[in-house]
Chain A
Amino acid sequence: MIRKIAVLGGITKSGVRETLRMVEIYPGEIVAVVGPTGSGKSQLISDIEYWADGDTPSRRQIQINDQVPAEFAVETSLRRLVAEISQNMNFVIDMSVRDFLLLHAESRHIENALEVAKAVVDCANQLTGEPLMMDDSLTALSGGQSRALMVADVALLSNAPIVLVDEIENAGINRLSALRLLAGRGKVVLVVTHDPLLALLADKRIVMQNGGMAKLLTASPSEKALAGRLQKIDAVLCELRERIRLGGELTPEAIKEVTWPDAQRVSA
């Protein structure tokens, strides 16, 4: 049972100690990782995926229940505790969707592999536009289809207690449903994001700067309230996006039809 994951601070890109010396994350929490491009967001989640022990460029150390990972479990079990959606938008491996999912299930010691594989494909198809098939070649999938499959694979097949997500907002899939799917109950979730809504949905956020963890913010009640309003604005934008996607046109009337939440307050 995971009770706590701790990230012990290492060094920044300039080689000096990073500001935050320790960040603790508990099951059930969603932590957003924000910061400019190149600030080390991906490195931070890759440190967790790798169970860094002072041996990555950031020199961070990851602890689990106050133990070093090697004391907590053997390497193979440690690997299975983490599921990661990395920033890569496409698959490189040349296999069919079916073979890939079956082999991935095997590597994670999953029993009813074929059933799970089917569920993954169904789930991916709910997230994406044009459906993907079991017999499709992975490399032929579009960027959005690939991301949808990666999300479904992490959510249903890997089903790990620690979930790491590196930017899902740019894939053309519904990022809120994707996050809901990934952040199952009682999981430790880290989400790298540039999206204000996703950042506000998180309980805490780590601000990255020059490779180091510079600040830890906790979402205040007023921020949480803002999230509600942002969600409404987002729903409006999503609706408009769907119209464009399906070949519709946006006239001033089309925008009037959708009801803007708190119109004055937002523009104020």
Chain B
Amino acid sequence: MRLVIVAGPPATGKTSVMLHTLRHILTDKIRVAVCKIDCLETSDHSTYRRLSLPVMVGLSDYICPDHFYVSNLEEIFAWGEKQQAEILVVETAGLCHRCAPGIKGCLSICVVDNLSGIDTPKKVGPVLTTADVVVVTKGDIVSQAEREVFRRRIEMVNPAAHVLEINGLTGQGALRLKKVVLASPSIEGVEGRELRYPMPSAVCSYCNGETVIGSRYQMGNVKKIVYREVSND
């Protein structure tokens, strides 16, 4: 089964892009299953169901969604196999930009949009820098020059990435992503495989539901801010 990880900031067009791409893939009679990992709520499953695919949702609730995702990958993979999927797409809601869900040996797609600001490629961090494919959406709203400048910024932080411009509304560009997905490696399982980037340790009292502010209430892995003056120039 090919495991394809799709990540990126909220509302950049992950679902729209995958919907068009999967529609093209389904015309080849390839079996596809989709899993969406989110925090509190999502309606993506009903969107994916429009393609009559098996869809599963995992809500992390009180746990960091990225840690939740890694802890459940084996189960997600097993579910995909049970659906006899040849391609399993996992869409994750990248939230804090500090984690990257990419797995070594599996296709990793990061979706960003032209509206998210020129510094976004730098800020998004490992989810973008470790991706094989960076999809840029919403090119219909900006000028060609802006698209070129944005693409340049992406290439600066991830020179190896295959950058694809896709219109999430019309699906223009999705056939090119289909080719990349079909060319990606198939794997036997996820056990023993490695993440492309370590996830930060986040085991503090607030991870466990503490709400009161103050050092007295903090336990575990607490990192304090290093204060320094910032001059105005």
Q: A residues touching B (Cβ–Cβ < 8 Å)?
A: 46, 49-50, 55-57, 79, 82-86, 88, 91-95, 100, 103-104, 106-108, 150, 153-154, 158
Contacts and interface: CB of A to CB of B under 8 A. Distances in A.
A95 B115 CA distance: 13
B152 to A, nearest CB: 4
A155 to B, nearest CB: 12
Interface string B154-189: 000000000000000011111110000000000000
Contact of A92 (B142, B148, B174): B142
Residue with the highest number of chain B CB atoms closer than 10 Å, among A79, A86, A95, A100: A86
B71 interface: no
A57 B20 CA distance: 12
Contacts of A150: 143, 145
Residue with the highest number of chain B CB atoms closer than 10 Å, among A85, A91, A92, A153: A92
B17 to A, nearest CB: 14
Contact of B151 (A50, A92, A107, A154): A107
B150 interface: yes
Nearest to A107: B152
A91 B142 CA distance: 7
A92 B175 contact: no
Nearest to B149: A103
Q: Which bucket holds chain B's interface residue count?
A: 20 to 34
A107 B149 contact: yes
21 contacts: A50-B173, A55-B175, A56-B170, A57-B171, A84-B143, A84-B144, A85-B144, A86-B142, A88-B141, A88-B143, A92-B114, A92-B115, A92-B142, A93-B117, A103-B149, A104-B152, A107-B151, A107-B152, A108-B148, A150-B143, A150-B145
Interface in B30-68: none
Contact of B141 (A55, A92, A106, A108): A92
B118 interface: yes
A50 B146 contact: no
Contacts of B150: 93
B98 interface: no
Nearest to B155: A107
Contacts of A82: 144
Given A55-B172, A55-B176, A57-B170, A94 B145 contact: no
A92 B146 contact: yes
A107 B142 contact: no
B149 A49 contact: no
Interface of B: 114-115, 117-118, 141-146, 148-153, 170-176
Contacts of B144: 49, 82-86
Contacts of A55: 172-176
B142 A103 contact: no
A210 B216 CA distance: 69
B148 A93 contact: no
Contact of B143 (A46, A57, A91): A91
A184 B63 CA distance: 60
Nearest to B175: A55
Contacts of A79: 148
Contacts of B118: 93-95
Nearest to B179: A55
A103 B119 CA distance: 13
B151 to A, nearest CB: 7
A104 B141 contact: no
A93 B173 CA distance: 22
Contacts of A108: 148
The 7 closest A-B pairs by CB, nearest first: A107-B152, A55-B175, A84-B144, A107-B148, A93-B146, A103-B149, A56-B172
B57 to A, nearest CB: 30
A48 B144 CA distance: 13
